[in-house]
Amino acid sequence: MFSYNKATLYGDALVDYIWIRNKVDTQNEIDATLSYTYDPEWDANTFLLAPFNNTLNGGNVTSVGDKILYWQVYRKKKDDATLHFLVRISASQYALYDFNVVNNNEYQYILFAETADYISAPLQQDGYVTTNWWNWSLVGLTPSSNGSNLYYADTSHVWLFDTELESGALQQNLDKAVIENFTRFPKLASGKKNYLTGSISAYLSNPVNARYQDTVEQYNAFIDFIADENPKLLKDRKGNGWIVGTTSNSMQYNDATAEQITTVGFEFTQLDSLDDLNIIGG
């Protein structure tokens, strides 16, 4: 990797910022930056973003002396060289839940304090947090109003499936067709389709203090949740996460038990990659 400690500008020019990114921009992206009103934002590919705010001193890594207006939140996976931008939140917000994390991984969070004129030096979490759980989960999602790739987790619909859990086969659906012709071997035509479908079966509820209980109200809430058109976040025990839609659901009572234990079984279809979205709560 090249290393630079100085950049020299020759000739007359007005410099708004220096932006160094680990990415080759498309021509459309380059054209967008030439707009007079373009305002760059620190993202996962950014190494340096140094604005010149009516001074000769360029830089956004500085001590914060002014009032903090926003926090820029980034996540870093262990052994990953880049930061992933999560969200920009108001300085008054004191808690945030990151629903993008998956099982059996180590994460670190970095904050940048944003004032009216500057962005602070990074405030880095000490060490890493390890994720570890023993269930599948299905969480409702609500898209943000600004139409970006940000979703809000519906904390009233976080369903955990642990007891008597059985996952069906994950079917990879591809757009491939064998074309027969007059040659010895056929041709294989491929499209872009590539998504998963599968199913989950488990008790509707989980035992608390060694006692199982579910209610009619709980099941009615679950079937309404399965039927709604909003996307959902599905995570497994192994370390995967998918944006899915739920397509069907079945219910079976165990009449041999006094509680009439309820087993539900739902099918899902992958709608998007978790890597392409940010999902928060709090």
Going along the chain from its start, the domains and CATH numbers come out as 17-130 (2.60.40), 136-281 (2.40.30)
* 61 has pLDDT over 50: no
Q: Any alpha helices (H) in the chain, and if so which ranges?
A: 27-33, 216-227
Q: With a threshold of 0.85, does the pTM exceed it?
A: no
In DSSP notation, 23-80 reads S---HHHHHHHTSTT------TTEEEEEE--SSS---S-B---S---EEEEEEEETT-
Most confident of 35-44, 50-59, 138-147, 171-180: 171-180
| Mean pLDDT computed over 171-188 | 93
| Mean pLDDT computed over 254-282 | 93
Q: Locate tokens 């890594």: which residue?
A: 61
Q: Which amino acid is at 70?
A: Y
Per-residue confidence band for 79, with pLDDT thresholds at 50, 70 and 90? confident
Per-residue confidence band for 64, with pLDDT thresholds at 50, 70 and 90? low
Comparison of pLDDT for 190 and 124, the residue scoring more? 190
| Mean pLDDT computed over 40-53 | 73
Long-range contacts, stretch 118-127, CB < 8 angstroms, 24+ apart: 118/53, 118/60, 118/62, 118/64, 118/66, 119/42, 119/49, 119/60, 119/61, 119/62, 119/72, 120/61, 120/62, 120/63, 120/64, 121/61, 121/62, 121/63, 122/61
The answer to whether the CB of 195 falls within 8 A of the CB of 173 is yes
* 149 has pLDDT over 80: yes
Q: How far is CA 115 from CA 19, 51, 57, 65, in A?
A: 19, 13, 17, 9
* 265 has pLDDT over 60: yes
112: number of CA atoms within 13 Å, CB side? 23
Comparison of pLDDT for 204 and 20, the residue scoring more? 204
Report the percentage of the chain scoring pLDDT > 90.
59
The answer to whether the CB of 132 falls within 8 A of the CB of 103 is yes
